Amino acid sequence: MSVMANDHQRGRAELFTFAGLHVSADSLVAHYDLDGRPFTEVVTFEGAGELTAPAATAVAQLWYLVAGLSYYKAGAARHVDLGTTAVGPRGRALFEGALRDGLGEFSYRNDLALDDVDVVGGRDGRHPVAHGDADEVLTPFGGGIDSVVTVEQLRGRVNQSLFIVSPAGATFAPLEATAAVSGLAIVRASRTIDPQILAGDEGFWRGHVPVTAMIALLAATAAASLGVGGVAMSNEHSASSANLRWRGRDVNHQWSKSLACEQLLGDAVAEAAGDQLAVASFLRDRSEIWVADVFSALSAYHPVFRSCNRSFAQASQRRSSGWCGRCDKCLFVNLVLAPFVSRAALREIFDTEPLSDPRLETQLRVLVGLGAHHKPFECVGDPDESAAALQRVSELPEWSDVALLGELAALAHPVRDFDQLLLRQGPSRVPAHWLR
């Protein structure tokens, strides 16, 4: 049974239609229709090239499809009509993967399987070729440890600009401060989400959507418009790990950060605009512990970086100015940094200490695989990584006064030990020229 009971008074829609994408020099205007109810999303770019360039427009069609899931979920329609959207077989495979797996958490929480959804429409359009400079990349940047590490690991290997997505008319202060430390140029995209979605509606279904895939496709659109040869994502190995299995399918909060999604997305972009535009995660074969180790040496970022999701709430009144110190993300980042950063320095970063907070004991148990529940629906590492980090922290004298850490470390049994997690983990799609 899902964690959210099914609301039997909330009916499903019948038809969700892709009503058209308008592309201008600097903006995308996406139109959707849910049983006669229209929705519109607008994305405006700064620092990109002409979006009307054929390759950029072709990639934008892929964004349009995946972005549509933010509106599709409001009604969870039984039928989807792609309309006249230009999409090839690989683009269609990406959309269907995003629909069924990218909305996996949404389905689970609402106890609503989407196996009955049929997808029709779409047309196979021209396939223009993006002519990208292999030595130029756009790096989507979220202000957390993962994207900071990607930026600094790529520095000197390729020429890069940051790609930042923000709400229309606003910026996220911690993200901007962290980006400023990098000193890199920024290409921006500002999203105006349809206010009907932001306001909510008693009849709407609610839940998680594959946002990272949407950001990757916006970055790829900008890259195609600029003649940039790559989009360097920052999704590490454990992002592919499922939270749980439900009705015969894996449910993964981080599906749009997974290797499976990356492969679908890369194939679809290559189909739409040619294989000169590479989309890959630089951290794919790395653990969160390796990322934390590298980040620990990047002290210029320590006072400003932020991985707490409450700093990035869409509604400004719900946005936190600092680390909340209570969520799973704060606890996890504190845990994986603790083997590499002194306890005193961590207190300065977080202005609190999640690891010693007795109120977070249940959350810590879940993170390391000892809780009664599955891995949190959050962008955190797998239980192996958390358990290995906990064992290492429990051995450090400066944490010896926190008895709970040693007690839980004695119960946790990670398959991979701490040192193994500092080695490469699994396959990677990173182009060789990013590594030279």
Question: What average pLDDT does range 190-213 have in this prediction?
Answer: 93
* Residue owning tokens 């920052």: 234
One domain for residues 413 and 333: yes
The answer as to whether 142 is a domain residue is no
CA angle 377, 194, 110 (to 5 degrees): 35
pLDDT at 5 over 50: no
Question: What average pLDDT does range 128-152 have in this prediction?
Answer: 93
**DSSP bridge partners of 278:** 230
One domain for residues 103 and 248: yes
Q: Cβ neighbours of residue 40 under 8 Å, at least 6 residues apart?
A: 29, 30, 31, 32, 194
Question: What average pLDDT does range 77-97 have in this prediction?
Answer: 97
Residue type, 427: P
Domain limits at 84? 15-122+186-281
Res. 311 pLDDT band, cuts 50 70 90: low
The secondary element (H helix, E strand) that includes residue 217 is: helix 211-226
Q: Which of 219, 192, 196 is nearest to 73 (CA)?
A: 196
Biggest distance spanned by C-alpha atoms of the chain: 65
CA distances to 56, 335, 370, 403, 416 from 410, rounded to whole Å, are 53, 16, 11, 11, 15
The b/e string for 148-157 (b: 16+ C-beta within 10 A; e otherwise) is bbbbbbbeee
One domain for residues 114 and 246: yes
The answer as to whether 286 is a domain residue is no
**pLDDT value at position 149?**
98
The answer as to whether 267 is a domain residue is yes
Output the average pLDDT for the chain. Answer: 93
One domain for residues 35 and 105: yes
pLDDT at 58 over 90: yes
CB 111 within 8 A of CB 6: yes
One domain for residues 28 and 118: yes
The secondary element (H helix, E strand) that includes residue 19 is: strand 15-23
**pLDDT value at position 136?**
96
Question: What average pLDDT does range 95-109 have in this prediction?
Answer: 98
**pLDDT value at position 4?**
39
* Distance separating alpha carbons of residues 429 and 425, to the nearest angstrom: 13
Question: What average pLDDT does range 152-170 have in this prediction?
Answer: 94
The answer as to whether 168 is a domain residue is no
Res. 69 pLDDT band, cuts 50 70 90: very high
**pLDDT value at position 393?**
98
One domain for residues 410 and 323: yes
pLDDT at 418 over 60: yes
One domain for residues 368 and 314: yes
The answer as to whether 173 is a domain residue is no
**pLDDT value at position 2?**
38
**pLDDT value at position 436?**
72
How large a percentage of the chain has pLDDT more than 90?
Answer: 86
One domain for residues 380 and 327: yes
Q: Cβ neighbours of residue 56 under 8 Å, at least 6 residues apart?
A: 23, 49, 50, 130, 221, 222, 224, 225, 273
Res. 314 pLDDT band, cuts 50 70 90: low
Question: What average pLDDT does range 392-405 have in this prediction?
Answer: 97
pLDDT digits (tens, 9 = 90+) for 369-389: 998 778 999 999 999 999 999
**pLDDT value at position 322?**
82
Tokens of 328: 């799973």
Res. 1 pLDDT band, cuts 50 70 90: very low
* Residue owning tokens 């990677």: 428
Q: Please tell me the total count of domains within the chain.
A: 2
Tokens of 148: 């900071």
One domain for residues 329 and 273: no
The model's pTM is: 0.95
The b/e string for 281-307 (b: 16+ C-beta within 10 A; e otherwise) is bbbbbbbbbbbbbbbbeeeebbebbbb
One domain for residues 354 and 264: no
Tokens of 307: 């991985």
Phi, psi of 189, rounded to the nearest 5 degrees = -135, 130
Res. 320 pLDDT band, cuts 50 70 90: low
The answer as to whether 131 is a domain residue is no
The answer as to whether 235 is a domain residue is yes
One domain for residues 383 and 250: no
Res. 55 pLDDT band, cuts 50 70 90: very high
The secondary element (H helix, E strand) that includes residue 97 is: helix 89-97
Q: Higher confidence at residue 83 or residue 318? A: 83
One domain for residues 381 and 265: no
